[in-house]
Amino acid sequence: MMYRVPGFGSAQRLSDYFKGLAPGLFLRELCLRPGAVGALCPSSRHLARHMAKQVPASGDGLVVELGAGTGVVTQALLDSGVPAHRLLVIEYSGPFVRRLRKRFPHLNVVQGNAADLRRLLPPEARVRAIVSSLPLCSLPAPMTHSILEQWQHLLHDNGVAIQFTYNLRRPKWKNQLRAQQTGSKIIWANLPPANISTFSFKTAKLPAPRHEHVSAEPYR
């Protein structure tokens, strides 16, 4: 399937986009672990900002980012006002972890598997938001089930889970998540387009999906 991305009208802009990637790192990880990376390109800053906006502006507890990759969403979370001491970044890939620690020396970046999330958290830690870039559609079904069960256990009534997917319909993993979907937004200015879903474990009405039609900006 070919996607038309608004704003990429010239070969020069597309070339500039690829020059902005971490040199060789993302493509190398994609070749070594295609199912775990799950995308041809890192997330755009536009997508990252919209994910960060879904995090509750106030409340106790940690904001946990899963699958931080090159750190685009991490930066958006910090820019949105999430305090560094309240942000816990979890990434499985060693090369990505090393880059994240170098880029964000003031953050707690943990190398580990999201399926072991409870074990990776500090003792007695509370979680108010989980911001996930995990490729749930391409992970093995038992691992996806384990990850979603962790969310169910960790998120209290005021917490949210935020996940994006390139599956613009209804991915199978949503059927395993015992939570109320409270938001859905397609970001067309991403390569490829992505759907951001927000979930709560308390009753809430699902608003109609909104579509974001804007010109794409430089990616990172």
Which pLDDT tens digit goes with each residue over 86-107?
999 999 999 999 999 999 999 9
Alpha-carbon gap, residue 150 to 156, rounded angstroms: 12
- pLDDT at position 167, please? 85
DSSP state of 108: E
Q: Which fold, 43-212? A: Rossmann fold (3.40.50)
pLDDT over 60 at 8, yes or no: no
Across residues 119-140, what is the average pLDDT? 92
Residue with tokens 């890192």: 42
Question: pTM of the predicted model, to two decimals?
Answer: 0.74
Look at 4-8, 84-88, 211-215 and tell me which has the smallest mean pLDDT.
4-8
pLDDT band at 43 (very low <50, low <70, confident <90, very high): low
pLDDT over 80 at 160, yes or no: yes
User: How many CB atoms are located within 10 Å of the residue 210 CB?
Assistant: 10
Domain borders along the chain are: 43-212
pLDDT band at 178 (very low <50, low <70, confident <90, very high): confident
- pLDDT at position 192, please? 85
Alpha-carbon gap, residue 37 to 133, rounded angstroms: 9
Look at 1-10, 134-143, 145-154 and tell me which has the smallest mean pLDDT.
1-10
Alpha-carbon gap, residue 72 to 214, rounded angstroms: 19
- pLDDT at position 42, please? 59
